[in-house]
Amino acid sequence: MNISLLLLAAAPNQVELLYLWERATLEGKVIIVLLVIFSMFAWSVMAAKGLQMHRAAQYNGFFSSEFRSQKNVLGIFDRRVRVEGCPLFAVYQEGCVELDKRLKNPGAEGRKKAVSFKAVEHIKRSLERAVAQEALRLESGLILLAIAVSGAPFLGLLGTVWGVMSAFSYVAMQGKADLATMAPGVAAALMTTVAGLLVAIPSMFGYNWLVHNLRVLTVELDNFAQELVSKIETEYLRDDDAT
């Protein structure tokens, strides 16, 4: 019973949309199709990036707890553990690869017990590069949402202006300016603005939410890189600058 009432209530709106679609100009229909494509891309990006950032935040929490439980900086690295999709692990791996290279003892097995200040500076630069790469990887795809937020309303406005222009041209050709002549064309023209806003508004909320999470993850990466450098300096840095 309730479903039947809902269908009856939705039927007038569907008929109205079909009528407006039929009255829309070719340019307006093309713009609406473009906006539908933009909406599909925007929702797919929001879903994919939201899942990626949620997974990254979870993996970061697990890895951070595991890292702090280690007695040695290279504890996880020496176990050859791989954690795909974890930004903190990617930064840690890059720093440990550079540290391991600096600790290698040419012509002998094992590692040196200490590294120079210059070596630590090289490790810091490697960590900074890794943090930047991970931030770019997390940010990739957000440009599509930014385009949807800024471009969709203008596309809708373009369709509306074009449709209103066509409506007034039709009125001029008919030679009469009554409501029955003007209203259908103007209403169909306004449909493109509605379509543009329906694309831009969800994209705006999704973009702002994703940017906030991106900033949080980037700050976590920076803090972890500093923590890793501090542990490396505590365990391996020697006072002299000998190589």
> pLDDT tens, position by position, for the chain (243 residues)?
343 333 334 445 556 666 666 666 777 788 888 888 989 999 999 999 999 999 999 999 999 998 888 888 888 888 888 888 899 999 999 999 998 888 887 666 677 788 888 888 889 999 999 999 999 999 988 988 998 898 999 988 888 888 777 777 766 676 666 656 666 667 777 788 888 898 999 999 999 999 999 999 999 999 999 999 999 888 887 765 444
Cβ atoms of residues 156 and 197 within 8 Å = yes
- C-alpha to C-alpha distance for 15 and 10, rounded to whole angstroms: 9
Q: In 45-76, which positions are buried (b, 16+ CB within 10 angstroms) versus exposed (e)?
A: bbeebeebbeebeebbeebbeebeeeeebbeb
Which pLDDT belongs to residue 243? 43
Residue 115 pairs in a beta bridge with: 237
* Cα-based distances in Å from 1 to 5, 6, 15, 165: 6, 9, 22, 45
Identify the DSSP state of 140. Answer: T
Q: 136: how many CB neighbours lie within 10 A of its CB?
A: 9
Q: Report the SS3 class of residue 111.
A: strand
Closest by alpha carbon to 85, among 109, 62, 111, 117? 62
Which pLDDT belongs to residue 136? 92
Name every residue whose Cβ is closer than 8 Å to that of residue 52 and which is 6 or more positions away in sequence. 85, 138
- C-alpha to C-alpha distance for 230 and 77, rounded to whole angstroms: 17
Q: How many residues belong to the chain?
A: 243
